[in-house]
Structure 1
Amino acid sequence: MPPRHILIAGDASHDLFLYPLPASLDSGGSSQRPRTHWFRGGVGLLAHLLNGSEQSGPRVDIYQPNLAGSENPTIHPPIQSVIELKLHTPNSQDPPTYSLKRKQRLNVEHRWHAPEIPSSSSDNGALSLCIFQDAEGFFNDGDSEIAITRFNQTRPRFLLYHMARPLCSGKIWEAVRRGPFVRADKQDPQRVIVVVSADDLRAEGIELSYGLSWERTCEDFVEQLGSTGKLVTLVTCAHLIVLFGCDGVIYHRGLQVARPMLFFDPLRAEGEFARENLGPVPGVAEAFVAGFAKAFMQSEDFNFEDSIESGFWAARRLARHGLSMQSPDSSCPLVYDASKIMGNLNRVKKGKLVRFSIPSDDIGQGNERNWSLLDHTIGDSADVARRIVKEGPHSSANLVPSARFNNLVLFDRHEIESFRTLFNSLAEYLAVPESRPLSIALFGPRNSGKSFAALQVAETASKGHKVRQLRYDLSQFTQLDDLLSAFHSVRDCTLEGFTPLVYFNGFDSDFAGSQSGAGSQFGWLPYLLAPMLLGKFSDGGVSRPIGPAVFFFGATRIKTYEKLKLRADADTGNITRARDFLGCLHGFVDMPGPDRVDHGNGVDRLYPVRRAVVLRALLEAREPNLKSGDQMNIDESVLNGLLLTPYYRQGIRSLRSIIAMSRLNNRRHFERAALPPQAQLDLHVDYNTFMKYMRGLPIPDRIREELAEKLHNVYYNHRAKYASPEEIKRLKRWNELDEELRESSRAHADSIPQKLRLVQCFLAEKQEYREPIKQFTIDQVELLAENEHERWNAERLQKQWSLGERAPEKRSSPFLIPWEDLDPEYQEIDRIMVRAYPTILPEPYYIYKMGPKEISPKGVS
């Protein structure tokens, strides 16, 4: 491999760190007084990380500016930032760790620092990467000219521009954005790499939502990236890398007709990793740049995607471990542990990072509005649901986006976005409570888990605050005094120093004593409006303040916000006050619940996933012996029935009842015999429908009939080629078959989706950007054929066929034997049948391989 170099140039911010010592290390007893430490950020930090990392791969020489003497407090240049650090209590054997508490930037001129130009870096055989560390402001004209001259002289192979605000500004960017020089008069824009943070894009006017869902982030990125015209040179650069904290990265290729790539942690949204660890840590972006640059220059083919992953893990390590201190007497006590941050980045195994090709064309045209990463990364939501039940919601096999709020785990994109919005509202309110309550409405079917979900999110958002949960069911209140008593209890909580988290169920229930008339559906609303709007309630003519509180209002009859809004708009008489109620809300959540939602904008494919989390929890609580480690032992057909049946009569309550009635005491496996009998099952689910779904998601009747006929035609055509004259006489076309044999062919069609799972494939309507499988491999055909013969055996035996001569009229067959005992010519019949699956499927159905929809190109020459 030719020699490789990394040249580091740009801003070396001179920062003053203020940090407290833990009492155990503060011999002077002055731990309350902050200590100070000078540190060179920017290129100084980049050089520290790159020089301090192990040379585990091909050698890369690092050339950096000479910053000697910058730590001497008598000669240091003006301070550019004052950084106050927060101490985190470590284990007794470890040094203390620090994160960012606050940072104050000072209005000081920035200086450009450049390394000595190595003679070998301009050799034709050398491959070099020049890192430009931008300043948070402008360089003076003299430094800019020096930077441009050095860049022109060095002629690196690649330029990595770590851009800071103001974006796309200054003489240096104007000179280098067209790329490194390949000749004296020619630059190559394909060799420009820009790294920028999503927060800096937001500050420049690009509307990127924060931490709602990765789907929403993708949509905003595609639709909003070009919304600010002054950033055109950034949007159209060859390689743009956007950092979303330590949780995700988008790689955009502005000079190619290529879809952007999203790299994301499926278990976290933007900002969550930092919140779960130390909080913000100075230098995380520089850690990403260093990790990326090292991996990029050590890869043979300049692999962008793998290098982005390396940068991601370097940034995460710094965010997890923070800044540390070697000893209070050290001349350089605050350190970035380069070996810990940069070591073995190419062999990170913990915490899989998912790569995803963003469907930018469809998003840009408005065609992708109900898509989910679950569909794109796995394809078969029913299979994801099975994995959640069997392996747990956070199994490494479930690399799909999820959100967790205490005991509430969500996989449905729209629920994730709704509850993250709710979480953000709660966190903001609890940080600075107001004098009136925060009011949130929750809509959904009965027994969809609204109260559980709301209070789990509230409990997560309220960590570190004094809160108390209260629940009231307005549908059980019979008089106004019941509600007044509830308000007094809420007020008592606030007087005791707690913030009450109050769930009012049934705000849309009847109240006979309503001012709106007897039995009004919204009769309670007139008595809720004043507490919501003013934070006060009237008791015997005395107005009593409630104080800070969170009010959740659960609907029992109105299933969506939109339906209540339509009802309120139609209320011309203003009797029910529904319109006023909506005006007092600070937010709402629509919860579809565990049943399939029949809506007009597409098929609800995610209901098995929503139900899976609940089912897993119910099984764990019902019989712990069902688990072996993290694996839940449950029969496949039972799992299908419980997960895939579209509707339960009483929602989650019915699912809980079925599990409770099942014979599972001390059982280590949930088999079919453990299910309740038909009469009990039918109390909570349509029994015939349940039995149907135990085989898996059924094929639509029209498709099923057409597929059954085509399967029979495949069999007929193959047998007609090789059968004897006597056998040909017994062969019958589809329209000549009796109903029992037609039903056998339909059962074969029903079994196809389940068999496809054996070879990691699934049957679905046409999916864009997925390549349908045109033929199976030899091994796949063998596995499918053997499984088909086993299915055929079971079908015949259940219909009382016996082993004997070939006589259908006597329900006798010589083929009721194991697969391995079949003669090769009859094994071949099953192979022919399963081999035909991809070619006989009626439109719009296709067979796809499970996994991501598309793999993008990785390197650049």
Structure 2
Amino acid sequence: MPGGTRRRQVVLFGDRTKDEYILRLRRQGGYAASKDTETPSRDWQNHDQWRRFTPAQAGVDMAAEMLGWYSDTLDVIRPTISPREASLTSLAFLGQCKIDESTGRPTSFQGVQTNHEPETSRLRVREFAGYKGRPSPRKIAITVPDRNVRPDVIAISDAGNELRHSQDDKDNAFCALMDRLAKKHGDPAQIVMKMHLPLAEGLAWKKFAGAKHAARRVLVVHADDLRHHGMQIARCPSWDRIVEDTHNSLVSGHVGSELLDESDDLVVLFDVEGAMVVTGNAANPSIALICDPMRAEYEVSRLLPGYMVGKMNCFLAALVNALPAPKKSLHDAVAKALLASRLYAESYFLEDGTDLRMPSVPNLLMEHEKRAAEAKPGSDHARYITLIPSKDAANISLLATSVSAVAPSSNTPDVFRELGRRIIVEGVERVLENLPHGRFKELWTVDREEIEGLRAIDVLIKDYLARTSLTKPLSIAVFGPPGAGKSFGVKQLVSEDEVPILEFNLSQADEVQLPRFFHDIRDANLKGKTPLCFFDEFDSRDRELVKYFLAPMQDGLFREGDALRPVGRGIFVFAGGTVHRMQDFCPRIPANAEPEEKDPHGQDQTENKQAPSKEVYSKEDKRKKLPDFVSRLSGFLNIKGPDPQTEPTGATPDHEHLLRRAILIRRQIEKHLPCIISEGGKTASIEPALVDALLIEWTYRHGARSIELVLRSMASGPEKTTLGLSDLPIASQLNLHVALE
């Protein structure tokens, strides 16, 4: 801590609001007491009741309360603002949550009755109802106890409200202090400013941007506010795409460019899952990504009921507490602040009389450390890593960036080989824990295209299941080599307890049998379930069956004889059997379809980019209704499998196939040869020569299916404690599934 044991002095400025919360209590049912008793029922006892909470901690006062968590290291000065009353009031409705005691996280909302015990209430915001009032146009006066205060840190919580309109004169403490930092003097303070919409406007921004001689100016904004201002940052497909989009938007001159040019460090929050620290200038930005390698933006929020007010205030307080010396990197401090806001977002309010008590982040951190110390590799506990992508890469690859850190002196293929060996021997969970990856129940993937595709399909499926008013099927196509795991991948996106899985192999069917398949789907609907319907090899039989799915996909109807019948709800998954990518099935879709980029003046920026494919469907394709089929799909997914993908000349080699292959091999070892895995360390006893053969030297004729059959054949015979080349089947048998290189 700077200055030895001296607490750092922090002056906090910000906007005030008043927050009101309503908790609805359901009546217990019936009359409170019989008419025949001595305590007859009162009318009000037979209706729902409610409780109202107006906590003192709202707006900048909430930020002050959160900074108070760190009183051992921070001395917080909270200026006085007049007029004393906040002009803006927010209203939200609360819900009581069930809690998973093993993780401490809320799992779902539950009803609250009038006889509930307040001390057991765990409350989260169920619905935000909006604001009452509007910011006063009057200037406000800000004073601090000591006019000559020289703080170590100035924290600004700018919510686009009254602070932007404060009186700009020498009598205003905020303006006076910021003006002092605009001039050279000894011991300048660091400034940390959290800014909301509208960005780069108002007096607070003017004073922040003008404080050129501050020790450091850190600006914190949310990615959604940048998106609102026109920055084209994709939402939650992959961290690679987010870094690429942010970099391209900055160099294209969007609003983020001004924010970066007028600050020393621009911190962009992607909710509680990640943050980007951007330094330099807009023409040549340096980006560092601090993220949970397993989670995508807003994924935590989607898993939890409701939300917590104050996540960004919590991030601000934790960042100020962890703020390093001016010339030091912010990466570690941002990681600590992300963890604090993540734990806060996963927690809940407590009912305290007529008040709400916020969770204490220091206490949450202690509980988190205990759970993390006991957690097994791959457990779902919050962790953050720092990734600094290479500037000279044609496309961002955070995976390549992070694996290069394993052995920086090695070339790229060597690093991937070594990482693949470790996955086979040490386990998927242990090795991938600190690498960017996607996890979908039992499916782990490190391939960017697969991660983006799986997350996109996951969102489509969850949205469809939640919207019970939709009566027509959701249609998705899945492509990949034989044995790539198409069926397995899609099944990991649903719970089989809630979504029954129906599988139909169309390579052995004709149009006469299709109505029977649709009746099976109707039967599942009659049981109150929405089925996942897996139509395997839908493009077999020369794609002649495709046209029979058009009416069920579009109208939810199928023909049986002369009658049209409703098929009901369902998730239709069409798995390709003759082609391995959607781009091969539908030539009009480019391999990397992206929207055209335009500069702020509307000029096309895609002159030097490869033009989208101009190919059209053949007459035969049109006869088979392929364009109509594709137009009815809500999404598609390409699964790559364990072998390297054939890429266009000059494209980056597919080194990631070594990791895809290693994951499949390890999973099959765990399934068929658990006897060679140590119970405590989870290390597989397998000879290095066999590891290299499985991982590097062989090509698998039938993808993941071949990997499984080879390892299953090695599991026959007496139980083994180690595995080597001598356990392989004879060459003639092995040649069924492996091409020996």
TM range (shorter): 0.7 to 0.9
Retained in 1: the 8 A contact 2:477–2:635? yes
Counting only pairs closer than 5 Å after superposition, residues 748-787 of structure 1 correspond to structure 2 as none
Residues 53 and 343 in structure 1, CA contact (< 8 A), matched pair in contact too: no
The one-letter code matched in structure 2 to 1:475 is: S
Deviations 1:258-281 (Å, cap 9, x if unpaired)? 621111111111122333455532
Choose the corresponding residue for 2:523, options 492, 517, 539. Answer: 492
- The code of the aligned residue for 1:305 comes to H
Q: Does 1:578 align with 2:578?
A: no
Counterpart in the other structure of 2:205: 173
Does the residue aligned with 1:89 lie in a helix, a strand or coil?
Answer: strand
Q: 2:645: which partner in 1?
A: 597
Q: In structure 1, what is the Cα distance between the partners aligned to 2:432 and 2:486?
A: 28
- The aligned counterpart of 2:302 is 275
Secondary structure at 2:200's aligned position in 1?
Answer: coil
User: Larger % of helix: which?
Assistant: 1
2:616 is aligned, of 569, 589, 592, to 569
Q: Which amino acid aligns with 1:313?
A: L
Matched residue type, 1:84: F
Shift of 1:22: 11
SS at match of 1:321: coil
Aligned AA (2:259): L
Cα deviation, 1:518-569, whole Å, max 9, x if unaligned, reads: xxx0110121111112211111111111222111001111111111123993
Give how far 1:331 is off: 4.6
Map of 1:686 onto structure 2 = 739
SS for the counterpart of 1:457 is coil
**1:203 paired residue among 205, 213, 228:** 228
1:673 is aligned to 726
Contact preservation (8 Å) 2:673, 2:715:
no
2:566 is matched with which residue?
A: 545
Q: Distance in 2 between matches of 1:528 and 1:38?
A: 56
- 1:143 Cα shift? 4.8
1:258-297 pair list within 5 angstroms:
259-277=286-304, 280-296=307-323
The gaps in structure 2 that reach 5 residues or longer are: 33-43, 105-118, 182-187, 374-380, 407-411, 589-614
Residue 557 and residue 189 in structure 1: after superposition, are their counterparts in 2 closer, same or farther (change >3 A)?
farther
Q: Give the match for residue 811 of structure 1.
A: none
Contact persistence 1:381–1:605 (CA under 8 A): yes
Contact 2:22 2:53 in 1 (8 A): yes
Structure 2 CA distance for aligned equivalents of residues 101 and 682 of structure 1: 59
- Pairwise CA distance, 1:224: 1.7
1:486 deviates by: 0.1
1:588 alignment partner, one of 628, 636, 647: 636
Match of 2:51 among 10, 35, 38: 35
Once the 2 structures are TM-superposed, how far is the Cα of residue 196 of structure 1 from its aligned partner? 0.8
Q: 1:410 to 1:367 in 2, by over 3 A?
A: closer
Length, aligned pairs only: 645
Seq. identity, %: 25
Asked whether the 8 Å contact 2:20–2:52 carries over to 1, the reply is yes
Structure 1 residue 78 displacement after superposition: 4.7
471, 486, 502: which one aligns with 2:503: 471
**Cα displacement (A) at 1:191:** 2.4
Pairing of 1:524-535 with structure 2 (within 5 A): 524-535=545-556
**Partner letter of residue 731 of structure 2?**
Q
What is the Cα deviation at residue 190 of structure 1?
6.5
Q: Which residue of 650, 674, 679 maps to 1:624?
A: 674
CA–CA distance in structure 1, aligned partners of residues 149 and 571 of structure 2? 63
Give the superposition deviation at 1:15: 0.7
1:121 aligns with 2:149: yes
Deviation readout 1:184-214 (Å, 9 max, x if unpaired): xxx3277221111111111222121121111
Would you say 1:46 and 2:63 are equivalent positions? Answer: yes
2:714 aligns with 662
Q: Are residues 30 and 250 of structure 1, via their aligned partners in 2, closer, same or farther at CA, if it must alter by over 3 Å?
A: farther
Instruction: Report how far residue 66 of structure 1 moved.
Output: 4.9
| Change over 3 Å in CA distance of 1:560–1:338 after alignment to 2 | closer
In the alignment, structure 1 residue 248 sits paired with structure 2 residue 274: yes
Letter in 1 for 2:481: P
5+ residue gaps in structure 1?
A: 71-75, 180-186, 511-520, 690-861
The aligned residue for residue 383 of structure 1 is: 418
8 Å Cα contact 1:110/1:139 also seen in 2: no
What is the CA distance between 1:83 and its match in structure 2? 2.0
Please, which of 431, 434, 446 is the counterpart of residue 399 of structure 1?
434
1:436–1:535 contact (8 Å) kept in structure 2: yes
Q: Which amino acid aligns with 2:95?
A: K
**In 2, distance between residues paired with 1:142 and 1:536?**
63
Taking the aligned partners of 2:512 and 2:634, their CA distance within structure 1 comes to 27
Q: State the partner residue of 1:414.
A: 449
1:608 match: secondary structure: helix
Is the CA contact (8 Å cut-off) linking 1:16 and 1:37 kept in structure 2?
yes
Q: Displacement of 1:647 after TM fit?
A: 2.0
Letter in 1 for 2:485: G
Q: What's the CA shift for 1:302?
A: 5.1
- Match for 2:477: what amino acid? A
CA distance in 2, matches of 1:382, 1:320: 38
CA contact (8 A) 1:80 1:106 kept: yes
Q: Deviations over 1:321-352 (max 9, x none)?
A: 23233x4xx35343232532577999998754
Query: Which of residues 687, 692, 696 in structure 2 aligns to 1:635?
Result: 687
- Residue 653 in structure 1 maps to residue 698 in structure 2: no
Counterpart CA distance in 1 for 2:209 and 2:299 is 33
**1:135 partner amino acid:** A
What SS does the corresponding residue of 2:623 show, helix, strand or coil? coil
- The more displaced of 15-24 and 81-90 is 15-24
3-state SS, counterpart of residue 634 of structure 1? coil
Alignment partner of 2:158 out of 131, 134, 153? 134
Return the index of the structure with the highest Cα Rg.
Answer: 1
TM, length-normalised to structure 2: 0.80
- Residue of structure 1 in register with 2:17 after alignment: 13
- Rounded Cα–Cα distance in structure 1 between residues aligned with 2:330 and 2:336: 10
Distance (Å, rounded) in 1 between the aligned partners of 2:341 and 2:192: 17
> What is the CA distance between 1:153 and its match in structure 2?
6.1
TM-score when scaled to structure 1?
0.69
Distance in structure 2 (CA, Å) of the matches to 1:590 and 1:351: 29
Q: CA deviation at 1:427?
A: 1.7
Separation in structure 2 between the aligned mates of residue 115 and residue 674 of structure 1, nearest angstrom: 80
1:386/1:533 CA distance change after superposition, 3 Å: same
Specify whether residues 345 and 549 from structure 1 end up closer, same or farther in structure 2 by C-alpha distance, changes over 3 A only.
closer
- 1:113/1:438 Cα in 2 relative to 1: closer, same or farther (>3 Å)? farther
- The code of the aligned residue for 2:630 comes to L
**Is the alpha carbon distance of 1:114 and 1:669 closer, same or farther for their aligned partners in structure 2, counting shifts above 3 Å?**
farther
Query: Retained in 2: the 8 A contact 1:522–1:577?
Result: no
Letter in 1 for 2:297: E
Change (3 A) 1:34 1:206: farther
**Which secondary structure does the structure 1 equivalent of 2:248 belong to?**
helix
Q: SS in structure 2 opposite 1:448?
A: coil
- Native 8 Å contact 2:233 2:245 kept in 1: yes
Quote how far apart the aligned CAs of 1:242 are: 0.7
Aligned-pair distance for 1:100? 2.7
String of CA shifts for 1:839-861, please: whole Å, max 9, x gaps.
xxxxxxxxxxxxxxxxxxxxxxx
CA shift for structure 1 position 369: 7.8
1:590, 1:132 → 2: CA distance? 46
Contact 1:137 1:166 in 2 (8 A): no
Identify which of 472, 475, 481 aligns with 1:436. 472
Question: What is the aligned partner in structure 2 of residue 557 from structure 1?
Answer: 578
1:588: how far off? 1.0
Counterparts of 2:460 and 2:141, CA distance in 1? 44
Alignment of 1:53-452 (within 5 A): 53=70, 55=72, 59-66=73-80, 77-90=86-99, 95-106=120-131, 108-110=133-135, 114=142, 116-118=144-146, 121-122=149-150, 128-137=152-161, 139=163, 141-143=165-167, 146=172, 148-152=174-178, 155=181, 157-179=189-211, 187-188=212-213, 191-225=216-250, 227=252, 229-236=254-261, 237-255=263-281, 259-277=286-304, 280-296=307-323, 303-325=329-351, 327=352, 330-341=353-364, 351-362=382-393, 366=394, 368=396, 372-378=400-406, 380-395=415-430, 398-433=433-468, 434-452=470-488
**What letter corresponds to residue 471 of structure 1 in structure 2?**
E
Shift of 1:357: 1.3
Give the CA deviation at 1:99: 2.6
| CA separation of 1:238 and 1:69: change in aligned 2, threshold 3 A | closer
